[in-house]
Amino acid sequence: PEFDLVIRNGTVATASDVFGSDVGITGGQVVALGRGLGAGAKEIDATGRLVLPGGIDSHTHIEEPRGGPTVNADSFASGSASAAVGGTTTVIGFARQERGGSIAQGVAEHLERARHSRIDYGFHLILTDPRPEILEEELPRLVEQGHRSFKIFLTYAGARITDDQALEVLAAARRLGALTCIHAEHHELIEFHTRALLKAGLTAPKHHAWAKPMVVERECVHRVCAMAEALDVPIQVFHVSGGESAEEIERAQRRGLKVWAETCTQYLVLTAEDLDRPGFEGAKYVCSPAPRSRADQAALWEMIRRGVIGNITSDHAPTRYAGPDGKSAFGEDAPFTRIPNGVPGLAVRMPVLFSEGVVKGRIDLPTFVSITATHAAKLFGLHPRKGTIAVGSDADIAIWDPAKRVTITQAVVQDANDHTPYEGFEVTGWPETTLVRGVPVVEGGRVVGAPGHGRFLPRGPYEMIKPRGIFPGPFNPVDGVPA
């Protein structure tokens, strides 16, 4: 046979084109496109199916140690299985620095955990304590080893850094050619609201959203855009949750800044009302930023169509709900401040976006490919190896049944959590087969890929995140020279 594998008679979609084509795969890479390709040692009939680049979920918390008593429900084996069930073939997770500790050690430990991944992976480096020796000694080595993105939190007591520290991280990122991803919420404003809510006895899950109204995010998004402008450094703003924050991103982009933004599945389908479900159920919907309104969802779709928001991630952050008695493990009378933040969503990201986006006519198929795979590949230095179907690319492919109807349940998503906030949500379109470098990880909805098939993806320097070389004043404060 001419090829290891041929996917025959499908409709291939990329971020720019949709065309009928076979896909010839050898050595884990796409080596030929076109109709009537020669024989493969193995063949998959994709008649009536879409052949899509495997998804890239560039914001996932998998097997990540978190401060406090709660644990991340997923291992790399379970998280990567769930991702592949939903058509995702690459995840970017997080290696974390403990305060007072070393990020190099956090990376070494996380590389060991990630060896059990079934799909390919990279890390963003969470910097909780950016001391000079970390920025000047550890980070240059880690960037050299292919960890080319950082994550900073401007809120969360255990992870946040100050604006002073954020500026030092941004300056280091500019010098090193790395991209900084930012969790942007006004910490003190959240704390002020929270103290007042607790004092007033307003402690239910829904009050989580009351503690962080949109202004908390909008102000901080504006602030980080200003920092990026002043230091002439590119940034990615994480989990933009609604219209007002997205407008800040759009204004920054109109000024020509390299400011990019993601939103997440949950902000397109959940609202603040989900936090007000009966009993303690609302705890399953606590994430930060908080889910907003239907109007915000419509605004986000519009910003996706305009290209202001470039990619959609899951921000998969699984914490089991039930303790041994089936009731909430955090206590059914726990104040919202004790509920772990974050929702799971690795498996549902692509199906929900396909169904709510393409099937409902909000976006076209190339836009779907862009927001689920191609843009993230470009932004994080993985393109063209990842994020597209082209000769020379890795054969990371989701063979998609566009008509399949699925009701999402915990059994469908196959992660190690005990609930999904999308329980009962109906979608049209689901991947049938997911290939990572030409090897099936999911076949007919069944996980067949072995833990350990995934590879670490080192990321070298790339054009997209180079600084513009334009400062707002006559001075370059990063290098201390005239601009």
Site residues (vs Zn ion, CB under 5 A): 183, 238, 315
Q: Please report how close the Cβ of residue 68 comes to ligand URP at its closest, in angstroms.
A: 13
Q: Please report how close the Cβ of residue 202 comes to ligand URP at its closest, in angstroms.
A: 20
Taking CB within 5 to 8 Å according to partner kind, which of ligand URP, Zn ion, none is near residue 138? none
Residues with Cβ within 8 Å of 451's Cβ and at least 6 positions away in sequence, in order, are 76, 77, 80, 116, 117, 118
End-to-end CA separation in angstroms for the chain? 59
* Beta bridge partners of residue 328, listed in sequence order: 322
Name which of 147 and 212 has its Cβ closer to ligand URP: 212
Residues with Cβ within 8 Å of 363's Cβ and at least 6 positions away in sequence, in order, are 301, 304, 305, 357, 371
Q: Please report how close the Cβ of residue 156 comes to Zn ion at its closest, in angstroms.
A: 8
Name which of 232 and 415 has its Cβ closer to ligand URP: 415
User: Which helix (H) or strand (E) segment is 57 a member of?
Assistant: strand 55-57
Q: 365: closest CA among 87, 50, 33?
A: 50
Residues with Cβ within 8 Å of 79's Cβ and at least 6 positions away in sequence, in order, are 60, 62, 63, 91, 117, 316, 318, 346, 415, 416
What is the DSSP code (8-state) at residue 394? Answer: B
Distance CA 384, CA 375 (A): 11
Name which of 30 and 62 has its Cβ closer to Zn ion: 62
Q: Please report how close the Cβ of residue 395 comes to Zn ion at its closest, in angstroms.
A: 26
Q: Please report how close the Cβ of residue 183 comes to ligand URP at its closest, in angstroms.
A: 5
Q: Please report how close the Cβ of residue 7 comes to ligand URP at its closest, in angstroms.
A: 35
Taking CB within 5 to 8 Å according to partner kind, which of Zn ion, ligand URP, none is near residue 193? none
Name which of 120 and 185 has its Cβ closer to ligand URP: 185
Name which of 275 and 287 has its Cβ closer to ligand URP: 287
User: Which helix (H) or strand (E) segment is 446 a member of?
Assistant: strand 446-447
Neighbours of 445 (CB within 10 A): 15
Name which of 13 and 103 has its Cβ closer to ligand URP: 103
Q: Please report how close the Cβ of residue 230 comes to ligand URP at its closest, in angstroms.
A: 25
Neighbours of 137 (CB within 10 A): 12
Q: Please report how close the Cβ of residue 251 comes to Zn ion at its closest, in angstroms.
A: 22
- Tokens describing residue 348: 């549902």
Taking CB within 5 to 8 Å according to partner kind, which of ligand URP, Zn ion, none is near residue 287? ligand URP
150 in Cβ contact with 120 (< 8 Å): no
Taking CB within 5 to 8 Å according to partner kind, which of ligand URP, Zn ion, none is near residue 207? none
Taking CB within 5 to 8 Å according to partner kind, which of Zn ion, ligand URP, none is near residue 341? ligand URP
Q: What are the φ/ψ torsions at residue 432 (nearest 5 degrees)?
A: -95, -45
Distance CA 359, CA 363 (A): 8
Taking CB within 5 to 8 Å according to partner kind, which of ligand URP, Zn ion, none is near residue 416? none
Q: In the chain, how long is the greatest CA-to-CA distance?
A: 73
Q: Please report how close the Cβ of residue 81 comes to Zn ion at its closest, in angstroms.
A: 16
Q: Please report how close the Cβ of residue 280 comes to ligand URP at its closest, in angstroms.
A: 17
Taking CB within 5 to 8 Å according to partner kind, which of Zn ion, ligand URP, none is near residue 114? none
Taking CB within 5 to 8 Å according to partner kind, which of ligand URP, Zn ion, none is near residue 374? none
Name which of 274 and 315 has its Cβ closer to ligand URP: 315
Q: Please report how close the Cβ of residue 28 comes to ligand URP at its closest, in angstroms.
A: 32
Neighbours of 337 (CB within 10 A): 13
**Within a 13 Å sphere around the CA of 217, how many CA atoms are in the beta-carbon half?**
27
Name which of 154 and 397 has its Cβ closer to ligand URP: 154
> What residue number has its CB nearest to Zn ion?
183
Chain contacts with ligand URP (rule: CB under 6 A) = 61, 183, 287-288, 315, 317, 341-342
Name which of 62 and 225 has its Cβ closer to ligand URP: 62
- CA of 412: how far to CAs of 61, 282, 415, 425, 446, in Å? 20, 21, 9, 11, 10
Name which of 293 and 341 has its Cβ closer to ligand URP: 341
Taking CB within 5 to 8 Å according to partner kind, which of Zn ion, ligand URP, none is near residue 92? none
Q: Which residues of 87-124 are buried (b: 16+ CB within 10 A; e: fewer)?
A: bbbbbbbbbbbeeeebbbebbeebeebbebbbbbbbbb
> What residue number has its CB nearest to ligand URP?
342
Name which of 238 and 321 has its Cβ closer to Zn ion: 238
Taking CB within 5 to 8 Å according to partner kind, which of ligand URP, Zn ion, none is near residue 9? none
